[in-house]
Chains A and B, each alone.
Chain A
Amino acid sequence: MPAASDPAFSLLGVTRAYGAVRAVDSLTLDFARGRTTVLIGSSGCGKSTVLRLLIGLEWPDAGEVRRDGVALRRERMLEERRRVGYVIQEGGLFPHLSVLGNLGLLPRYLGWSAARIRQRAIELAGLVHLDADLLERFPAELSGGQRQRVALMRALMPDPPTLLLDEPLGALDPLVRHGLQDELRAIFRQLGKTVVMVTHDLGEAAFFSDRLVLMRRGRVVQDGSLDDFRRAPADDFVRAFLAAQRGLPEPGP
């Protein structure tokens, strides 16, 4: 189904190479506004690089990255990044700052009052089901699941229209992971944000979205729902990738 307006983000023929290796290779891809898109693939397929291109941690060697139809510019990147929340596998929390210190780092620079920062933190703690007593703790005093909740809170502090999540649940044990998957999906639906999520787990991908983008060697192999993948795998790699995943949800009737 074609998008009604410009996509939130789009890559147009983007190539990003490290030496001879093309992490992203002439890639053209759209991310629809208000929807969750999941990038999947094996390690090194370029899915994380796509996220990094969207927030200017990487710049294309060729091609263009657009937000709302306008090309990203280096000199505007600080403002662009504040419109995007970014969460990585280990959370990337600053160990020298308390939870509140982590949450308040950007807002403080933006001139928020301490009261406003605390109020927003308590509000988000409710959203992600984090005990508000933990706000004074340091990252080293939190469990892995708590740290990822805080990382999500930090990303959500300035209420950005877009969330980028790079294996946000990758380092968690299965039970915690399962619980957080449910919560995250509920939060995404509730907030209505544009979400781009990276995972190597097809089951998790299918749980979050009906739009999966399977990547290999910097290119898109197949773009569609899990059912599309099953019904009409684009090539043998898709078949192999499907076969390698255990415990996938049963195909629909």
Chain B
Amino acid sequence: MRCRFALVWLCLSILARIAMAADTDPQAGPDAAAPVAVTIGSKDFTEAIVLGEIARLAAQRHGVEATHRRGLGGTRILWRALLEGEIDAYAEYTGTLAHELLRDMPADAGIEPLRARLRELGLGMADPLGFDNSYAIGMLEDRAQSLDIESISDLAAHPGLRIALSNEFMDRADGWPGLKAAYRLPMDARGMDHALAYRAIATGAVDAIDLYSTDAEIAHHGLRVLDDDRRHFPRYHAVFLFRLDLGQRAPDFVAALGDLAGTISASGMRAMNKAVKIDGEPEARVAGRFLRIEPGAGGRASGPGLLEYTLQHLALVGVSLSLAILLAVPLGVLAARHRRLGQLVLGLVGILQTVPSLALFVFMIPLFGIGATPAIAALFLYSLLPIVRNTHAGLVGIEASLRESAAALGLPARVRLRRVELPLALRSILAGVKIAAVINVGTATLGALIGAGGYGQPILTGIRLDDIGLIMRGAVPAALLALAIQGVFELLERVLTPRGLRLPPAS
């Protein structure tokens, strides 16, 4: 028995070691080799990433080494990351600032009032880049023509129209609720990923979607932008937000952002978006062409390879799972020992499981910043329930006569636990760990939203670029990894289950 337990420990510690080693690998890619002065973030859509690359290259031109953490997620994640100092700058839109982030500001607040309000938060705002990326509503040209729809007002006459809106737009104060009220629109709308919405409208699955006015697809798919005849949407001037402490740390970077003011027109931005999204050029090259410089050594020639994604993914799953085992097995033992406490523990870890995974990842940002750590923390919390529950069930399921026989021998509780109860519950515990591991492999793909890397990275980028091949480069290995982990655990179960428990019950 002793050697079996030693084997478990050995496996776990090796796994943890591999995971830790992978975890210390920089997430940021090739930039990390150089000394990093500033970190730029970007939301997970093409324009934001192009602007992030422009900022990175502009910084480089001013002699500042900058890291770009690409496609971190939605507005909330970037805003939090900026406030927490996880990133130093990212591109935002004035309308989003006024409506969503600084709710006490008037709807069409000008640059100066916004800047004054941001200063109170320790943030600065560079002058607008020059283009206005407003929300708009679009329909296929033919469809709009046949229904005689030119403005958003005209939609009210067609309650049967199917509208799909980006998830962020669905919830924002200036998004669907405001639009629906302002135009008295009778229909309901569905939430959908923005990149997928274009696919949906092109195939006729939906009738109208929200657009960013600089989206490359507007021309590509032949969409009609409906007139905002009641002037509902505020202006969305693109601006760089940055932490004011950069003034001391990297004044040249602030100057570089200032130099970009007024240099990007709406048509210029739309062309860059098209180059990336429709023509498939790397963002760094597009940004470099705009700045008339070579993307240079810092530019990402190609994405990280499968090996890097795999190591990152294994790190997320392995570390979170190992930590979860260390806490969840004792919790399960505790729950089995004390019935009341047990119900409380099971209830609490059960509640953790009900928190939507994306929300849980975001909740971790204030605590752990962005990157692998908050993702590991979230996955750790998700792993607790199956392991605690199976440990508890395995121990409670031991026949009373066996538990009492061990007690009647005069063995102390800890020896009974180690020599009798845990070995008898081992199969159930392992099954719980297996469930947690397989779930983790899937959930860890969401880690890419908060900069944790892993198989989620190509999936997210693939969704953004509408590139099925790229999505598969993340989704297929993730599925294979889940299968492999399942196999490993079944093997482990066979090795670790005491021989006496594998025998068929005697007559």
Q: Footprint of B on A, CB under 8 Å?
A: 55, 57, 77-82, 84, 86, 88, 90, 92-98, 101, 105-106, 109, 138-144, 154
Interface centre among B404, B499, B506 (most CB of A within 10 A): B506
B446-505: which have CB < 8 Å to A?
A: 498-501, 503-505
Specify which chain A residues have a CB less than 8 angstroms from the CB of B419 in the assembled complex. 105
Distance A84 CA – B410 CA, assembled complex (angstroms): 9
Given contacts A57-B404, A92-B402, A97-B498, contact A140 B505 (CB under 8 A): yes
Cα–Cα distance between A212 and B406 once the two chains are bound (Å): 29
CB atoms of B404 and A139 under 8 A apart: no
Chain B contacts for A138, CB-based, 8 A: 499-500, 503
Give the residue name and chain of the A residue nearest to B422 (CB): A96
Question: A residues within 8 A CB of B411?
Answer: 78, 105-106, 109
- CB neighbours (8 Å) of A105 from chain B are 406, 409, 411, 419-420
Find out whether the CB atom of B410 lies under 8 angstroms from the CB atom of A78.
yes
For the complex of A and B, list the 4 residue pairs with the smallest distance between their C-beta atoms, beginning with the closest: A92-B405, A81-B410, A138-B500, A96-B498
With both beta carbons as reference points, the residue of chain A lying nearest to B412 in the complex is identified as A78
How far apart sit A14 and B420, CA to CA, in the bound complex (Å)?
32
CA gap between A138 and B409 in the complex, in Å: 19
* Contact of A139 with B415 in the complex, beta carbons under 8 Å: no
Interface class of chain B by DSSP:
helix
Assembly CA distance A55 to B405 (angstroms): 11
The chain B residues found within 8 Å of chain A, CB to CB, are 1, 401-402, 404-412, 415, 419-420, 423-424, 498-501, 503-506
21 contacts between A and B (CB under 8 A): A78-B412, A80-B410, A81-B408, A81-B410, A82-B410, A86-B405, A88-B404, A92-B401, A92-B402, A92-B405, A94-B424, A94-B500, A96-B423, A96-B501, A97-B500, A105-B409, A106-B409, A139-B506, A140-B503, A141-B503, A143-B506
Compute how far the CA of A165 lies from the CA of B293 in the bound complex, rounded to whole angstroms: 91
How long is the Cα–Cα vector from A198 to B387 in the complex, in angstroms? 41
A98 and B401 within 8 A (CB): no
A79 and B410: CB pair below 8 A? Answer: yes
CB-CB under 8 A from B505, the residues of chain A are 140
Structural contact, B410 and A94, CB atoms closer than 8 A: no
Q: How far is the CA of A82 from the CA of B412 in the complex (A)?
A: 11
- Asked if residues B408 and A57 are in contact (CB atoms below 8 Å), the reply is yes
Question: How far does the alpha carbon of A78 sit from the alpha carbon of B414 in the complex, in Å?
Answer: 12
Residue among B404, B409, B424, B506 with most chain A CB within 10 A: B409
- Give bound CA distance, A55 to B406, whole Å: 12
Contacts of A88 in B (CB 8 A): 401, 404-405
Structural contact, A140 and B500, CB atoms closer than 8 A: yes
Known: A94-B424, A140-B504. 8 other contacts (CB 8 A): A77-B410, A86-B408, A92-B405, A97-B500, A105-B406, A109-B411, A141-B506, A154-B409
**A97 cross-chain contacts in B, Cβ below 8 A:** 1, 498, 500
Q: Are B409 and A94 in contact (CB under 8 A)?
A: no
CA distance A55 to B404 in the complex (A): 11
Chain B residues contacting A106 (CB-CB under 8 Å) are: 409-411
Q: Are B424 and A96 in contact (CB under 8 A)?
A: yes
Tell whether, in the assembled complex, residue B408 and residue A94 are in contact, meaning their CB atoms are under 8 Å apart.
Answer: no
Residue on B nearest A98 in the bound complex, by CB: B500
Q: In the docked arrangement, what's the CA distance between A236 and B276, Å?
A: 99
A94→B412 contact, CB < 8 A: no
* Bound CA–CA A77/B410 (angstroms): 8
Contacts of A93 in B (CB 8 A): 405
In the bound complex, CA of A77 to CA of B503 (Å) = 35
| Identity of the chain A residue whose Cβ is nearest the Cβ of B499 in the assembled complex | A138
Point out the residues of chain A lying under 8 angstroms from B406, CB to CB.
94, 105
Residues of B contacting A80 in the complex (Cβ-Cβ under 8 angstroms): 410
- Residues in B with CB closer than 8 Å to A55 are 408
Q: Which chain B residue has the least Cβ–Cβ distance from A88?
A: B401
Contacts of B405 in A (CB 8 A): 86, 88, 92-94
* B74 CB → nearest A CB, Å: 51
**Most interface-central of B405, B415, B498, B506 (chain A CB within 10 A):** B405
CA distance in complex: A144, B409 (Å): 21
* Residues of chain B with a CB closer than 8 A to A84's CB: 408
A-chain residues with CB within 8 Å of residue B420 when the two chains form the complex: 94, 96, 105
B402 to chain A, nearest CB (A): 6
